[in-house]
């Protein structure tokens, strides 16, 4: 992994740039170096008000193709409304950059410096960021208790750089860093995603962003002049998008013939199929089924059923999968959790719960998690009894049979699944208890309540539902989806298509 550092100062001053210059020279002697600004390519006014600006900075940092990256922290300058210190902490957390904290120490007593360091560390921790070193004049460094933080003596010396490079690499997974990972992975093997709802301006805006950022190739379903005309009105560049009419004769006949074949046992004729596939969800799903697209994202303007029922009829389940299900990815401040099934199966059987558990672990692994699966219940082990507990006991045993290599625990209560202290009492020696990251709920009722409770109480970003178990990826959007949500779902669908 590329080593990244950011030089920041708690208040406006001039010495941070001097330290950055010295550090850049010293690091260059150790490997290839990219030097960036914490507002690289971003207007400072935009940085003060836009989360998109922060994402742009993070993308610039992640794009650096060198062994070392040094980021010069932003300074608020004359902008009293721009909290540069918090901005720099957000950049540090989202890029896994160690902080080199610069203090204007001239004439300051040691106890005051120690207080300032402690306050800075507390603020960094609150932002999921880590201080790698404190930059202080060498004589003063010996007088200050640095509270178990490394010192970078000034002027910067080779020994100081060695200590800095030996500092632990931050590894918090913030929502911004996770979303950046999604984008990087989608770009690595670009896929074709069909968006069947271009009448929704959010879909057009998302399509333009996906294309501009190189996340995927986009196909929109509709009439070319109407779609491109509306994009022009909105000031969006969709020149690289493919627009396909639902009345395209060759595609209509190809899709109708295949759909009639798939549904022959249901008595569907080619004529009936021609009518059916003029529905955007059926047309888009047929594109995926027949290899004219790699995945579909819909639901901004249609119900969940309208989006996913065609996939049950056309794409069907993958080999070895008994049931199509879903997970939500909950992006917390410093980690990612997967919750399933919260959108599809109302009252799954023990066999289906086991299948959902294995599918959820596989999906979680696709998105960078090392799955530790908790099958949730109101009972941990044999602490409670009843048919609901028995169902989870059976499901756990079946999941172990289906995937013996997976760390799976169940039945287990949520507190025992996530809290190490509770786990030590309720489920000692469990490979999952206290550290679970994939949570399987016994019903849709419990799952939907659970993910929304965590989302709303913790401020987590909920990504999903992500459908799993289909032969090819189709994903549903909330009708209240933001442009960012659609972009993320397109990236997720592209990653699923890569697999």
Q: What pLDDT digit, counting tens, does each position of 215-249 carry?
A: 999 999 999 999 999 999 999 999 999 999 999 99
Neighbours of 370 (CB within 10 A): 11
- The pLDDT assigned to 240 comes to 96
- The pLDDT assigned to 385 comes to 84
- The pLDDT assigned to 47 comes to 46
Q: How far is CA 155 from CA 28, 95, 135, 163, 377, in A?
A: 16, 26, 9, 14, 58
- The pLDDT assigned to 328 comes to 93
Residue 482 has pLDDT above 90, yes or no: no
| Separation of alpha carbons 58 and 61, rounded Å | 5
| Separation of alpha carbons 370 and 348, rounded Å | 25
- Pick the closest to residue 4 from 98, 119, 141 (CA basis): 98
pLDDT top residue among 327 and 484: 327
Segment 356-362 shows an average pLDDT of 95
Cis peptide before 411 (omega within 30 of 0): yes
Q: What is the pLDDT of residues 47-71, one digit of tens each?
A: 444 566 788 888 888 888 888 999 9
- The pLDDT assigned to 158 comes to 84
| Separation of alpha carbons 495 and 487, rounded Å | 13
What is the average pLDDT value for the chain, to the nearest integer?
A: 88
Confidence tier at 405 by pLDDT (50, 70, 90):
very high
- The pLDDT assigned to 154 comes to 84
Residue 461 has pLDDT above 70, yes or no: yes
Percent share of the chain, pLDDT over 70: 93
Confidence tier at 285 by pLDDT (50, 70, 90):
very high
Rg, C-alpha atoms of the chain: 26
Segment 3-22 shows an average pLDDT of 82
Residue 330 has pLDDT above 90, yes or no: yes
Let me know: does 322 contact 352? Beta carbons within 8 Å.
yes
Q: Is 122 exposed, middle or buried (0-12, 13-18, 19+ CB in 10 A)?
A: exposed
| Separation of alpha carbons 6 and 271, rounded Å | 64
Q: What is the pLDDT of residues 416-454, one digit of tens each?
A: 999 999 999 999 989 999 999 999 999 999 999 999 999
Confidence tier at 352 by pLDDT (50, 70, 90):
very high
Q: What is the pLDDT of residues 160-202, one digit of tens each?
A: 888 888 888 888 888 888 888 899 999 999 999 999 999 999 9
- The pLDDT assigned to 46 comes to 47
For the sheet with 68-72, list strands across it.
Answer: 33-37, 68-72, 3-8, 98-102, 131-137, 150-154
Confidence tier at 107 by pLDDT (50, 70, 90):
low
DSSP 222: S
| Separation of alpha carbons 409 and 381, rounded Å | 9
Segment 97-109 shows an average pLDDT of 81
Q: What is the pLDDT of residues 380-391, one digit of tens each?
A: 987 778 899 999
Confidence tier at 203 by pLDDT (50, 70, 90):
very high
Segment 360-381 shows an average pLDDT of 94
Residue 146 has pLDDT above 60, yes or no: yes
Sign of the C-alpha dihedral computed for residues 282, 283, 288 and 290 taken in this order:
positive
Least confidently predicted of 73-87, 107-121, 316-330: 73-87
Percent share of the chain, pLDDT over 90: 56
Domains of the chain and any CATH numbers: 3-172 (3.40.50.300), 177-314 (3.40.50.10950), 325-469 (3.40.50.10750)
- The pLDDT assigned to 41 comes to 53
- The pLDDT assigned to 230 comes to 96
Length of the chain counted residue by residue? 499
Neighbours of 377 (CB within 10 A): 27
């Amino acid at each position: 992994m590329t080593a990244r550092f950011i030089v920041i100062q708690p208040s406006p001053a001039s010495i941070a740039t001097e330290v950055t210059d010295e550090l850049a020279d010293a690091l260059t002697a150790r490997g290839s170096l990219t030097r960036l600004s914490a507002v690289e390519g971003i207007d400072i006014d935009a940085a003060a008000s836009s989360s998109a600006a922060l994402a742009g900075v993070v993308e610039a940092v992640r794009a650096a193709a060198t062994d070392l990256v040094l980021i010069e922290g932003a300074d608020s300058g004359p902008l009293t409304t721009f909290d540069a210190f918090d901005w720099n902490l957000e950049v540090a957390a989202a890029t896994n950059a160690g902080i080199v904290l610069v203090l204007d120490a001239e004439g300051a007593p040691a106890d005051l410096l120690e207080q300032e360091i402690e306050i800075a560390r507390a603020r960094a921790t609150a932002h999921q960021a880590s201080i790698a070193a404190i930059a202080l004049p060498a004589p003063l460094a010996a007088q200050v208790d640095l509270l178990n933080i490394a010192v970078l003596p000034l002027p910067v010396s080779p020994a100081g750089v060695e200590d800095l490079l030996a500092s632990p690499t931050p590894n918090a997974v913030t929502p911004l860093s996770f979303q950046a990972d999604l984008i990087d992975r989608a770009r690595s093997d670009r896929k074709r995603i069909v968006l069947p709802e271009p009448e929704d301006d959010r879909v057009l805006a998302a399509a333009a962003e996906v294309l501009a950022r190189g996340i995927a190739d986009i196909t929109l379903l509709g009439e070319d002049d109407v779609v491109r005309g509306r994009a022009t009105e909105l000031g969006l560049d969709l020149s690289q998008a493919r627009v396909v009419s639902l009345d395209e004769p060759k595609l209509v006949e190809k899709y109708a013939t295949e759909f009639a074949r798939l549904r022959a046992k249901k008595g569907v004729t080619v004529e009936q199929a021609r009518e059916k596939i003029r529905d955007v969800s059926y047309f888009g799903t047929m594109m995926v089924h027949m290899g004219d697209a790699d995945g579909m994202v819909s639901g901004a303007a249609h119900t969940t059923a309208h989006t996913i029922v065609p996939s049950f009829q056309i794409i069907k389940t993958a080999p070895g999968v008994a049931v199509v299900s879903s997970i939500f990815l909950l992006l917390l401040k410093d980690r990612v959790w997967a919750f399933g099934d919260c959108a599809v199966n109302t009252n799954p059987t023990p066999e289906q719960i086991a299948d959902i558990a294995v599918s959820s672990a596989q999906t979680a692994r696709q998105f960078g998690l090392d799955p530790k699966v908790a099958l949730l219940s109101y009972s941990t082990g044999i602490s409670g009894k009843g048919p609901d507990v028995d169902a989870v006991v059976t499901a756990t045993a079946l999941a172990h049979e289906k995937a013996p290599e997976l760390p799976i625990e169940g039945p287990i209560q949520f507190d025992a699944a996530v809290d190490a202290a509770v786990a030590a009492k309720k489920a000692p020696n469990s490979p999952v208890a206290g550290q679970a990251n994939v949570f399987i709920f016994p019903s849709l009722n419990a799952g939907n309540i659970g993910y929304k409770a965590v989302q709303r109480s913790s401020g987590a970003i909920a990504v999903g539902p992500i459908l799993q178990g289909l032969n090819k990826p189709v994903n549903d959007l909330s009708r209240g989806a933001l442009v960012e949500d659609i972009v993320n779902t397109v990236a997720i669908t592209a990653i699923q298509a890569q697999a």
